[in-house]
Amino acid sequence: MSDDQQRPGGFIRDNHGILSPPPSSVSSTTNASLPNPRSKPLVPGSAKESSFIRYLDEQLLRIQRRHANRHGNTATKTDIGYSSFKEAIADIETLVELIWVSGTPSLQVPYLLSIALLTVDFLPSFPPSPTATFRLLNRLDVAFASLIQGQNVETGERLPGFERGPAVSTTQKIRIKSLVERTRMTAIRVLGPSGGTDISVQEESMDVDTETDYADFGFESDDEDEDDELDDHDIGRREMGIARIYDRTVVELGEVLGQTPIGIITE
C-alpha cells in the first residue's frame, strides 16, 4: 500500500475516498457493539492526529448541514438533507466507529460527547425510528461506560490510553451525567407511547440502505432487518428500550461520582 493511501491513526482511504479502519481493527464478532480499537493512541500533536481531527470536524459539519437541510433547502448536492432519522444515524454510527477505532481517549471523550448531544438535538426532528435509535444509543452507552471504567464493559479488555490512569475528567463525567438525563427525557417525549415529532414532517420516510454506507467504511451492519421498526402497538418494547438508555453509563457514573445512580425510568 502506498504512503499516500495511509491516513491518520492507521486509517485507510479506499478507492471511493472514504476513510476506514484497517481490517485487523474490525471486531470479528458480528454482534459486537463497537469494533476493536488501535493498540495505541494517536501521538498528541502528530500529523496523523491533526489530520484525523480535521476529518472529524469536517464530517460533523456535514452531518449538521444535512440535518439543517432536511426540508430540502440545499444549495449543493453534497448537502442534501436527511429524509429520515435512520439516514442520519447511518452517518453518525460510522463516525462513532471511526472515533472508537482511534483508541485515543483525548479525542474519544469530547467527540463522542458532541455526537451524543447532536443525536439528542436531532431526535425530535424526525418521525420516530426506535430500532435504529436504540442501537445507536446502546453503542454510545458502551463507549462512555468503557471510557469511564478504562476497559471495555462488554469484553473486559483494557482500553488503550489508560496507562497513566483515568482519561475522563470529573467535569466530563458531570457533562455525561447531564447528557444521560436529557437523552432519557427526550426519548420519553419522542419515543414513548404518545411520542411523536416536535415539528411538521412527513409520516412516511424513505428506506435507507445502511448496509452500503457501512460497507464503504469497512464495517458490516449488525441489523439484519433495518425496516423492522417498533410501532405504536409495541409499547412494551419501546418502554424497555427507553428504560435501558445509558444504563451501563449510569452505573459507572454512580460509582465514580459517589452519588446515587440516576433512577431507571419505568413509566
> Which percentage of the chain shows pLDDT scores above 90?
56
- Within 13 Å and on the Cβ side, how many CA atoms surround 261? 13
Cell of residue 51, nine digits: 489530520
Please provide the average confidence, as pLDDT, over all residues in the chain.
76
Is residue 23 pLDDT above 60, yes or no? no
pLDDT higher for 226 or 119? 119
pLDDT in tens, 117-174: 999 999 999 999 999 999 999 999 999 999 999 999 999 999 999 987 888 999 999 9
Q: What is the mean pLDDT of residues 87-99?
A: 96
Q: What is the mean pLDDT of residues 26-38?
A: 62
Phi, psi (degrees; rounded to nearest 5) at 146? -70, -40
> Which percentage of the chain shows pLDDT scores above 70?
66
pLDDT of residue 165: 80
Is residue 2 pLDDT above 90, yes or no? no
Look-up: residue for cell 411520542?
195
Q: What is the mean pLDDT of residues 103-129?
A: 96
Q: What is the mean pLDDT of residues 43-52?
A: 96
Domain regions of the chain by residue span: 47-194+234-259
pLDDT higher for 15 or 245? 245
CB 119 within 8 A of CB 213: no
Confidence of residue 60 (pLDDT cuts 50, 70, 90): very high
pLDDT higher for 73 or 62? 62
Q: What is the mean pLDDT of residues 36-45?
A: 94
What is the distance between the alpha carbons of residues 45 and 47, in angstroms, rounded to a whole number? 7
Q: What is the mean pLDDT of residues 167-189?
A: 94
Which residues are bridge partners to 6 per DSSP?
12
Cell of residue 52, nine digits: 484525523
CB 117 within 8 A of CB 161: no
SS3 62: helix
Burial of 239 (0-12, 13-18, 19+ CB in 10 A): middle
Confidence of residue 256 (pLDDT cuts 50, 70, 90): low
pLDDT higher for 6 or 27? 6
